[in-house]
Structure 1
């Protein structure tokens, strides 16, 4: 997820077919809003790994340029989601991403809000919920209408095509694509920070998560 992230080449396709951005305006609680939606419903254009890279790139670039917020809300418009997208969800990759999101990404996640739910919503949620901590499950919401959503996200924070006062989603899409391309050097620099596993002196005993071997729950002294 942290390699091959050039926005103008390897990531170009996903940038055209989905939108991940952070709204200009924060909530009254000083929470930034991460907005995610598919631009089209053709699941042939969907690649889960690239989508997760895209989310991480947008969040990290926002942190570098704007600094941290008191919290973050994830807002997901499911209107263009098809069952073909769900079929392409890979459990292990999803598990690793949610672990990273909740334990390692430098954001304080305050809630996940889905709206425009799809008929197969239960199937989709069954693939997501097992990887969320209890405190995140308690702040996961599915909203049938914009009115229900605005109990948590003020209307003025939303794009004008959602009834708000900010720029349209299409305009935000164009702006974030251009911003990512303009900052390709940032992602090239980040890739230099990854671990070179080939230089380990002995065989790695990594578990599924980030090279962490065992725990400190028990310390034995000879």
Structure 2
């Protein structure tokens, strides 16, 4: 079983992370009556993800605890033994942290469908396992200079797109942009589906310009290898890492072996009843409802 990385380890490995900033933010967190008890490692991850800006880290922490509490269907109950749908989602979706980093010290995350039957696909739970796996990694092994996400769309069909709920989709995109304590460097789509243009058209209204510029669509692997070293990839992609099937079994084991972390995450939410000032609600943060079925995607 893994445990949280010591913040003292981060001080030694990251000269830009200042102990006085962590201590200042810790006092600020204690003054936020609606916050849970915030750990120094959480503050350090927020600072790192915000490139050490104290004010931005405050916003990151506020958004992190608020959104996770407000959207339990995306972020709570990470125990597959207590949730048959989550257990099924783990058999459908692969989210693997590959063992080798890039030369820039970016971690590489591979996501793909292991079962391409759209009837089994639940995008809400696919988002959940993505968050579960990446946060487990950064809390226990520490942050990296950035995160590169590879989305292999092999086997994707229009039926997968039609399963998506627009409200949940936007909530998760807001969370990634404003709350998730990582530096998202790029999202690389490979083996793209014919309707990729429709996916991009749906993404664009909900992603800020600077984030949209981090999306890369690869029609061949040569351009992809310019961003991700080939040797870092599983042998299925011509690389030197263990196979996709090996990564699949490893990722599931990592989640099952670290239930302590997901139980802890369930406590990391705000108490709106203790918030000083106006309470936050879903309308103020996200502001709409809808599904892809209600949109024109022809």
User: TM-score normalized by structure 2?
Assistant: 0.67
Where does structure 2 lack aligned partners over 5 or more consecutive residues? 1-73, 287-298
Q: Which residue of 1 aligns with 2:118?
A: 43
2:216 aligns with: 141
For 1:203 and 1:209, the matched residues in 2 are separated by 11
Give the aligned partner of residue 255 of structure 2: 180
After TM superposition, list the pairs within 5 Å mapping 1:69-148 onto structure 2: 69-148=144-223
> Aligned equivalents of 2:223 and 2:205: distance in 1?
25
1:96–1:209: 8 Å Cα contact kept in structure 2?
no
Once superposed, what is the RMSD of the aligned Cα atoms? Answer: 2.0
Once the 2 structures are TM-superposed, how far is the Cα of residue 198 of structure 1 from its aligned partner?
A: 5.9
In 2, distance between residues paired with 1:174 and 1:208? 39
Change (3 A) 1:2 1:210: farther
Are the counterparts in 1 of residues 272 and 280 from structure 2 also a CA contact under 8 Å?
Answer: no
CA distance in 2, matches of 1:84, 1:199: 43
Q: Residue 80 of structure 2 aligns with which residue?
A: 7
1:167 and 1:142 map into 2 onto residues whose CA distance is 25
Give the CA deviation at 1:176.
Answer: 0.6
Counterpart for residue 296 of structure 2: none
Q: 2:102 & 2:93 partners in 1: Cα distance?
A: 24
Deviation at 1:155, TM superposition (A): 0.1
Distance 1:82 1:52 in 2: 18
Shift of 1:209: 6.1
Aligned positions, number:
211
The Cα of 1:203 is off from its aligned counterpart by: 8.1
Decide whether the 8 Å contact of 2:149 with 2:187 is kept in 1.
yes
Please state how far the C-alpha of 1:23 moved relative to its aligned partner: 0.8
CA distance in 2, matches of 1:33, 1:207: 32
2:241 aligns with 166
Structure 1 regions of 5+ residues with no counterpart? Answer: 212-222
- Distance across 1 between alignment mates of 2:274 and 2:162: 37
Higher helix share: 2
In 2, the alpha carbon distance for the partners of 1:177 and 1:210 equals: 32
The structure whose RCO (Cα within 8 Å, separation 6+) is larger is 2
TM-score (norm 1): 0.88
d(CA) in 2 for partners of 1:134 and 1:167? Answer: 36
Stretch of structure 1 that moved more, 201-210 or 132-141: 201-210
SS state of the match for residue 36, structure 1?
strand
Contact 1:7 1:184 in 2 (8 A): no
Structure 1 residue 205 displacement after superposition: 5.1
* 2:135 corresponds to 1:60: yes
Q: Does the 8 Å contact 1:35/1:76 carry over to 2? A: yes
Partner SS state of residue 8, structure 1: helix
